[in-house]
């Protein structure tokens, strides 16, 4: 496996968040008929991943029943990564996304999943992008999609999902790095996932340092490490 460093991946993901103007829910409201069908779910998932249909393989979407809700699951391969999405049929909200493969840190999944705040979040992101043009600052220093806030250093620290404030993905990665003791320059990110099951919001990620593997599940509301495995 070709070694790619985590530090580069964090910058890439934050950049993606700064550029995108709408979350999956906002896109559904704007351009995809509701309730979702398979084609509409594919449209949202591909847009979220920054992929054109012509550039992906093994694209499939199926309707399922999950935790008492009708959902549509979408899977596809794009570049060196495999993507999986779960979208709520009623409003198009992305309840879960995951990306796994040889170049996870180069992926651009939706990070804020703004839900009911998507429309306002899109306006906020547009304003941030306008400010970026005027100030000639980098994408890493802009507000992310949805309702993300930024700290003085420019990295997103809070996101809002269905009205609930969560830590951002990059903060979850930092929590895992601090706990594992791995230097950021030596860490390889091989899997990342966001999941909302109707009660809890979690980030799951897998880090590697050489032959050592670390798997973390982190509470996205509190930042608490829920589970950790070291191999």
Domain layout of the chain by residue ranges: 6-230
> How many Å apart are CA 20 and CA 18, to the nearest integer?
6
Pairing verdict, β 212-219 and 94-101: unpaired
Report angle CA 224, 14, 99 to the nearest 5 degrees. 70
pLDDT value at residue 27: 47
pLDDT value at residue 40: 95
Closest CA to 81 of 124, 115, 45, 112: 45
> How many Å apart are CA 58 and CA 78, to the nearest integer?
9
pLDDT value at residue 124: 32
pLDDT value at residue 56: 97
Six-digit token string for 68:
């008492």
Q: What are phi and psi of 154, to 5 degrees?
A: 100, -5
pLDDT value at residue 191: 93
Q: Give per-10-residue mean pLDDT for the chain (231 aa).
A: 39 32 43 92 90 96 94 96 94 90 78 36 36 38 37 48 78 91 91 88 93 95 95 86
Q: What are phi and psi of 33, to 5 degrees?
A: -65, 140
> How many Å apart are CA 64 and CA 192, to the nearest integer?
22
Asked, as a colleague might, if the bond just before 35 is cis with ω within 30 of 0, I would say yes
> How many Å apart are CA 129 and CA 199, to the nearest integer?
33
pLDDT value at residue 109: 65
- Per the listing, tokens 């992310």 go with 144
> How many Å apart are CA 70 and CA 39, to the nearest integer?
15
- Pair 187, 208: CB distance under 8 Å: yes
- End-to-end, the C-alpha distance of the chain in Å comes to 18
């Amino acid at each position: 496996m070709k070694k790619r460093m985590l530090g580069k991946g964090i910058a890439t993901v934050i950049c993606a968040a700064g550029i995108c103007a709408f979350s999956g829910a906002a896109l559904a409201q704007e351009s995809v008929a509701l309730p979702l069908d398979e084609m509409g779910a594919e449209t949202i998932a591909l847009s979220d991943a920054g992929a054109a249909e012509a550039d992906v393989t093994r694209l499939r979407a199926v309707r399922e029943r999950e935790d008492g809700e009708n959902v549509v699951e979408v899977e596809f391969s794009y570049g060196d990564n495999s993507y999986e999405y779960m979208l709520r049929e009623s409003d198009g909200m992305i309840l879960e996304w995951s990306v796994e493969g040889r170049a996870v840190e180069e992926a651009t999944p939706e990070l804020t999943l703004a839900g009911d705040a998507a429309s306002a979040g899109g306006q906020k992101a547009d304003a941030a992008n306008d400010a970026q043009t005027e100030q000639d600052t980098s994408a890493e220093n802009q507000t992310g999609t949805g309702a993300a806030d930024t700290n003085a250093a420019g990295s997103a620290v809070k996101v809002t999902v269905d009205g609930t404030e969560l830590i951002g993905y990059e903060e979850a990665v930092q929590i895992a790095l601090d706990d594992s003791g791995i230097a950021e320059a030596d860490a390889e990110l091989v899997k990342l996932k966001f999941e909302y099951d109707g009660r809890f919001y979690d980030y799951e990620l897998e880090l590697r340092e050489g032959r050592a593997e670390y798997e973390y599940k982190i509470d996205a509301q509190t930042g608490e490490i829920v589970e950790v495995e070291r191999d």
